[in-house]
Structure 1
Amino acid sequence: MRLASFIEGRNNNFNLIRMIAAYAVLVTHSFALVIGTGNAEPLQATLGMTIGSIAVDIFFLTSGFLVTASLLTRQSTIEFVWARVLRIYPALFAMHLLAIFGLGLFFTTLSWPSYFADPLLYKYLLKCLTLFSGSPYELPGVFSHNPYGDSINSSLWTIPYEIAMYTILSAIWVSLRAMPQYRQQAFNFVAVSGASLSGILIFLSYFNATAINHFIWLFFLFFTGSTFFILRNRIVLSHSIFFILLFVLLLASLNRHAFFIIYAATLAYILFYVAYIPSGMVRKYNKLGDYSYGFYIYAFPVQQSIAALLPGVSVLTMVIISSAVTLLLAVLSWHFLEKHALDLKGHYVNHTKKLLSFFPTSKSTS
C-alpha cells in the first residue's frame, strides 16, 4: 500500500520509536560519561557510528516527516510556529531551571555567592533563552571533576539544528506566498531538491574522504523526511522491499565504509515502514504518553549527577540508575507540563491572528 494510506490520524509507532531512540542516546552517553570519551561505545569502532548517533538521525527523519505534514496539512505558518515553540521551549526551560537552581547549587564547588556572581552562569542563561547561538554546556564549578568533564547537557547540541530546520522549512513556505496557485508545487520542488542536493554533497564528501558537515547531514535527513511526506502517494510500503533493505543493511555492517552508503540510502524507508506497518500490541504504547523529549533532555544531567555521586560507577549501573530516574522525570514532565503546554496552541494561535488582523497587509493564516 502507498504511504499515504497510513498517515491519517496518530495511530502509528512514532512515539515508541522516538522513545527507543532517546533510550539509545542514554546508553551511548553511559559509555562516554563513565569512561570519559565520546568514542567509548563499542559500535563506534565497528560501524563508525554509535547507536546514539543513529538515534539522532531517526529523530531528524521523523521530525522532517511530521512537521512537514503539519505545515502542509494546516497551511498556517502561525500554527506551525506555535506548535514548534510549545513543543520545545516549556520543557527545555524547566530543565534549565532545574540545572541552574537544582544541580548547579548542589554540585558546584563554588560558594553560592560566587556561583551567582560568575559570568559563566549568565552566559548559560542567555543561551538558554533561544538556543539560536548554540546550546549551553557549562555552569560554574559544576561536574568539573567528572570523567567526561563539566558539560551539563551535551545532548542539547541537536536542538539548535532542529530549530534551524523548522526555520528553513517555514521560510520556504512563507517566501512562496506571492504565488498562491503554484505554492504547494513550488514548496514540494524546493524541499525535494534540497534533500537531493544535500544527499549528493554528502556522498561526494564521503567518496573524497572529507569530513561530512554536521549541518548538511542533518539537513539531508530532515528534508528526506519531508520528501517522504511529499511523495507519500508514490511510495509503496512493501514487506519485500523492507526485508531486502534490512538484509542489505545488516550485510553492509561487515564493512564500515559500505555500511554508511547503504545506511544513508535505506534508513528512511526502514524507519517509515516500522512506523506504520507493525500494529496490534505495539500500538498500546500510544496510550502512555509522548515521553521521548523529556527523556532526551533530562538524561544527560541525570547521568552526570550519577557520575559525580558515584565515582567509578560501571556502565551497566549507570544505565540502570539513569534509566529509572530519567524515566520518572520524563513522565512528570509530560503529564504536568508538556501536554498542557501543547493544549495552549489554539489559544496562542487565535491571539496571534487577532493581533495580526490589525495590519491590513498581513495574511494571518499564511
Structure 2
Amino acid sequence: MSRSAPVLPGRRGTLGELYSPRANSFGVLRLVLASSVVLSHVWPIGWGPLDPLWTYSGAQTDVGKMAVVGFFVLSGFMITGSGARGTCGRYAWHRALRILPGLWGSLLVSALVVLPLLYAHLHGTTDGYWNHREGPVSYLQGTWNTSVSTHWDISGVLSEGKARGTNFDPGVNGALWSLKYEVFCYVMVGLLAASGALRRARRLVPLTAAVLGLLILRDWVTAPSPRGIPGDMRAAVQVPLLGSMSVHFLIHLCFVFLIGATFQLYRDRVPVHDGLALICAAVLGGTLVCGGVFVLGYPAFAYLLLWLAIRLPRPFRRIGRERDYSYGIYIYGFTVEQALALLGYARYGKPVFLLLAMAGTLLLAALSWHLVESQAMKLKNWTPRFVRGPGRRGSTAVRPRPEPRPAVGEPEPAPTATTG
C-alpha cells in the first residue's frame, strides 16, 4: 500500500488550487496600494522631502514606488491570465476600456475643473487661464494618449504656486508616470499571446524575468553602495507611441510584472505556504535595511502579495468586488494633493493633510468609477467591427470563451489596468 506524501506545517495547497477569480482579496490589495501612493506623496507635495521609507531604506525606494511595484505584480498575474485565454483583439479591447476612459476623464477634470479653480484662487478670475499659450488645450493635446508627460503645468498655475512658497512638483499629475510602463507590459503580453508563447512556450516568461533579474543584480553588485539604486537613472529609450522611457524603470517594472506572470503560468507549482510567506517578509525587511531590495526584496514582495490575496480572511474578499475605486484613487490623488498644497492646507500638519487628500480623492474616485469606468466596462463583451473575427462580421457581441478552469481568469466585475 502506497504511503501518502506528508503535509508540511503551514501548507495550504498550490496557487492553482486555492486561487479563485471570484473569491480573492485582490480588491483590498489594490485599494491599499493606491492609498499608499497618496500617502507617499504627502511628504514631497506638502513639505518637500520623500516619505520616511526613502531614508529608512538608504534611498533604495519609498512607499509610493513599492506600491507601484505591487501594482505591476498583480497586473502581471491577472493580465497574463486574460491574454492566455482570449483573442488578441478582445484582449486589447478590454485593456483599452479599463485604462483609457478613466485616464481621459481625469485629464478633463484636471484641465477644466480643478486647475481653473486654482487659477481663480490665485488671480481672482479665470480670464487668463483659457487663452494661455500653455493652457488647457495644450495640456490635453500633450497628454491625451498614454504617453503622458508628468511635468505638465497648465497656464502656470502650479509654477506660480511654487513661487509663492509651496513645496510641490510643478506637474499637474506626477503619479501618471507609470501608465506608459503598464501599457508597455500589456503590449508585451499581447505579443506573447499572439505568438502562442503563453500556451506553448511559457517558460520564455520566467527566463525573460531571470535575464532582467541578472541585469539588476549586475548593476547592484557594481553600485557604490549596497543600499544605493542600481543602474543609470538618466538613461532613456524612445518607444513608438509611448515616447521617452527610462531604461531603469523598464527593466525593474518589467521584471516584477513578469514575476506576476510567472506565478500565473505556473500557478499549479507555486505553493501557498505560511512559512514561506514568513521567510519572504523577513527577506523584504532585511533588504530594505541592508540593501538588495531590487534583487531579492521585489520577488519576496511579489510572493507576499499573492499569499495575502489567498490567505486574508473572507470578509476582505468583498472589498472592491462591486466598486473598484483603486484606479480612480491612483489617477486623482496627486492632483488633489497639489490643490491642497497650493491652498495652504499643509500648515495644518500631515495627518490633516492626508485625511483631506484621501477624502477628496475618494470622492473623485467614486465619481470616476460610477460615471466613467463602470459605464465603459459595460462594453467589455461588445467587440468593435475592426477586431471581430471574419465569421462574426454581422454580430455586435462575441461570447466569451468558456473558462478552461476556475483558476484562470480576471476578477469581476472588470479586468484591472494600472491599478492591478
Scaled by the length of structure 1, what TM-score is found?
0.88
* Gap change, CA 1:315 and 1:77, over 3 Å in 2: same
> Does the residue aligned with 2:182 lie in a helix, a strand or coil?
helix
Q: Which of 57, 74, 88 is matched with 2:99 structurally?
A: 88
Q: Which residue of 1 aligns with 2:190?
A: 170
In 1: Cα distance, 2:373 partner to 2:42 partner: 26
For the 8 Å contact 1:61–1:221, the answer to whether it is kept is: yes
Residue 89 of structure 2 is matched in structure 1 by 78
Q: CA deviation at 1:165?
A: 0.9
Please state whether the residue corresponding to 1:346 is helix, strand or coil. Answer: coil
Structure 1 contact 127–135 (Cα < 8 Å) conserved:
no
Where does residue 138 of structure 1 map in the other structure?
A: 153
How far apart are 1:155 and its partner, in Å? Answer: 0.3
**Matched-pair identity in %:** 26
Q: Which residue identity lines up with residue 306 of structure 1 in the other structure?
A: L
Q: Deviations over 1:206-230 (max 9, x none)?
A: 1111426111000101111111111
Cα distance 1:9–1:310, how it changes in 2: closer, same or farther (>3 A)? same
Distance in 2 between the 1:169 and 1:319 partners?
Answer: 36
Report Cα offsets for 1:309-328 as digits up to 9, x if no partner: 12543222210101111112
Query: Cα distance 1:163–1:306, how it changes in 2: closer, same or farther (>3 A)?
Result: same
In 1: Cα distance, 2:213 partner to 2:94 partner = 28
Question: d(CA) in 1 for partners of 2:151 and 2:386?
Answer: 32
Distance 1:263 1:80 in 2: 31
Conserved? CA contact 1:127–1:136, under 8 Å: no
Distance 1:141 1:9 in 2: 46
Query: Could you tell me which residue of structure 2 aligns to residue 193 of structure 1?
Result: 207
TM-aligned CA deviation for residue 265 of structure 1 = 3.2
Q: Distance in 2 between matches of 1:333 and 1:190?
A: 38
Q: Higher helix share goes to which structure?
A: 1
Instruction: Identify which of 15, 28, 39 aligns with 1:27.
Output: 39
1:362 aligned partner: none
Distance 1:82 1:12 in 2: 25
Task: Normalising by structure 2, report the TM-score.
Answer: 0.77
Gaps of 5+ in 2: 1-12, 224-229, 233-247, 394-399, 402-420
Q: Secondary structure at the match of 1:54?
A: helix
The whole-number CA distance in structure 2 between the counterparts of 1:66 and 1:275 is 12
Deviations for 1:91-128, whole angstroms, at most 9, x for unmatched residues? 11111111111122122357745433334234421232
Q: Check 1:357–1:133 CA distance in 2 against 1; reply closer, same or farther (3 A cut).
A: farther
Q: Secondary structure at the match of 1:254?
A: helix
What's the CA shift string for 1:233-268, capped at 9, x where partnerless? Answer: 11111111111222333344432x144443123111
Alignment correspondent of 2:177: 157
CA 67–196 in structure 1, closer or farther in 2 if over 3 Å, else same: same
Q: CA RMSD in A?
A: 2.4
> Is it true that 1:97 corresponds to 2:108 in the alignment?
yes
Structure 1 gap ranges (5+): 359-364
Query: Once the 2 structures are TM-superposed, how far is the Cα of residue 346 of structure 1 from its aligned partner?
Result: 1.3
How far, CA to CA, are the matches of 1:261 and 1:168 in structure 2?
22
Which residue does 1:107 correspond to in 2? 118
Alpha-carbon distance in structure 1 between the residues aligned to 2:76 and 2:321: 24
Which residue of 12, 17, 29 corresponds with 1:5?
A: 17
Offset from partner CA, 1:162-221 (integer Å, 9 cap, x none): 1111112212322x26xxxx77222x1332222111111111111111426111000101
Q: Deviations over 1:5-28 (max 9, x none)?
A: 123322111110010011111111
| Residue number among 318, 325, 330 corresponding to 2:360 in the alignment | 325
- Whether the 8 Å contact between 2:148 and 2:176 is mirrored in structure 1 is no
Cα distance between partner residues in 1 of 2:52 and 2:329: 23
Could you tell me how far 1:64 is from its partner in structure 2?
Answer: 0.8
The number of residue pairs the alignment matches comes to 350
Query: 1 CA distance for matches of 2:351 and 2:198?
Result: 52
Letter in 2 for 1:341: A
